[in-house]
Structure 1
Amino acid sequence: MTPAPEIRLAHPDEFAAVAALRWRWVAEQDGPPDRDQAAFVCDFAAWARAHADTHRCLVAVQDEQVLGMAFLALTPRVPTPHDFSRICGDVQCVYIVPEARDSGLGGLLIDETLRLATEFGLERVTVHSSDRAIPAYLRHGFARSENLLQSEPRIAAERPPS
């Protein structure tokens, strides 16, 4: 019998597996990256260790294999007279290997990410989702917001002045 998947914070020795998932995701979307994969895995794992305080990495593990990941990025907010410890979060880099998709792992990762956000007392959590994943986020507590706007500064800088 296959054991149930475990959703938890990644151990530092799993950051290489997380990096391999990130590589696989980019290759699926954009084709093979033109960078050495082993170097990327090493650099990504170092980045994840260096940013562990601001980017909490969660993994979906089954049979000792990392099948999915999600990051909760933590951002301090400007204090108010009532609260000097305001923090918001952003869900980033949620990925499940294709052979494990539609099994509920993504939803488990979303739920655990939101549980962690609650543990940190975050004011709000945002996500920039792919079209395919929007229904999953909506099922797991996210809602559309008319007040959340975004700008892409690199694209805006390329536009001629109006």
Structure 2
Amino acid sequence: MRISQANAGDVAGLARLLWLDTVREEPAQPSVDTFAAELANWWATRQDSHLAFVARLLRPEIVGMAWVALVPRVPRPGATSRLSADIQSVFVMPSERGQGIGSALVEAASEHATRLGAIRVTVHSGRRAVPVYERLGFESSRQLLQRPSY
């Protein structure tokens, strides 16, 4: 398995995985090719704040991804360049699950965010994935609250 930071040449593969991950949730979605163009435009304006990491096996096709969103925090005296990070859109092809690919992707994205100076890395997880994130060192926090928008 090879994990690397994605680049513009990976947009079609990333779009394919995002499309596959949501096809059952969003039945009226555009074709994968149309979405790839939309993703390319979206990412072009957010390359500094949204980084993607991809997994490949022996083939050149991307079999997994994890995104990390970097969020600048309000400065404090003595700490003017604070940063938080959020792991997003982790997906591994169903046929490749159970091999540690998702964990390796999350580790790569988290470590990269930490190297960039993130003081906190968060993830919003589905219930079934919580044990995986806990094995990777994530902990639940009573201080991290969310307010749903209806």
TM bracket (short chain): over 0.9
- The structure having more radius of gyration, on CA atoms, is 1
Q: % of aligned pairs identical?
A: 36
SS in 2 for 1:123: strand
- Displacement after TM superposition at 1:39 (Å): 1.1
Structure 1 residue matching 2:128: 3-state secondary structure: coil
CA distance in 1, matches of 2:145, 2:68: 20
Map 1:120-131 → 2, pairs under 5 A? 120-131=116-127
- Scaled by the length of structure 1, the TM-score of the pair is 0.87
The answer to whether the aligner puts 1:87 opposite 2:83 as a matched pair is yes
Pairs within 5 Å for 1:58-73? 58-62=53-57, 63-73=59-69
Structure 1 letter corresponding to 2:126: S
| Residue aligning to 2:74 | 78
2:132 is equivalent to residue 136 of structure 1: yes
Report the Cα offset of residue 72 of structure 1.
0.7
User: Residues 42 and 75 of structure 1: is their aligned pair in 2 closer, same or farther, counting only changes over 3 Å?
Assistant: same
Q: CA deviation at 1:11?
A: 2.1
Q: Is the 8 A contact 1:96 1:105 kept in 2?
A: yes
Report the CA distance between 1:31 and its aligned residue: 5.7
Shift of residue 112, structure 1, vs aligned partner: 0.6
The equivalent residue for 2:3 is 7
Render the CA deviation track for 1:122-158: whole Å, top value 9, x for unaligned: 01011100112111110011011010000112x1xxx
Give unmatched runs, 5+ long, in structure 1: 156-162
Unpaired runs of 5+ residues, structure 2, are none
CA distance in 2, matches of 1:146, 1:139: 19
1:52-94: CA deviation from partner (whole Å, max 9, x where unpaired): 1000111111221100111110011011001000000000111
* Root-mean-square deviation (Å): 1.2
Counterpart Cα distance in 2 of 1:34 and 1:111: 30
Q: Which residue does 1:56 correspond to in 2? A: 51
Distance (whole Å) between structure 1 residues aligned to residue 44 and residue 65 of structure 2:
15
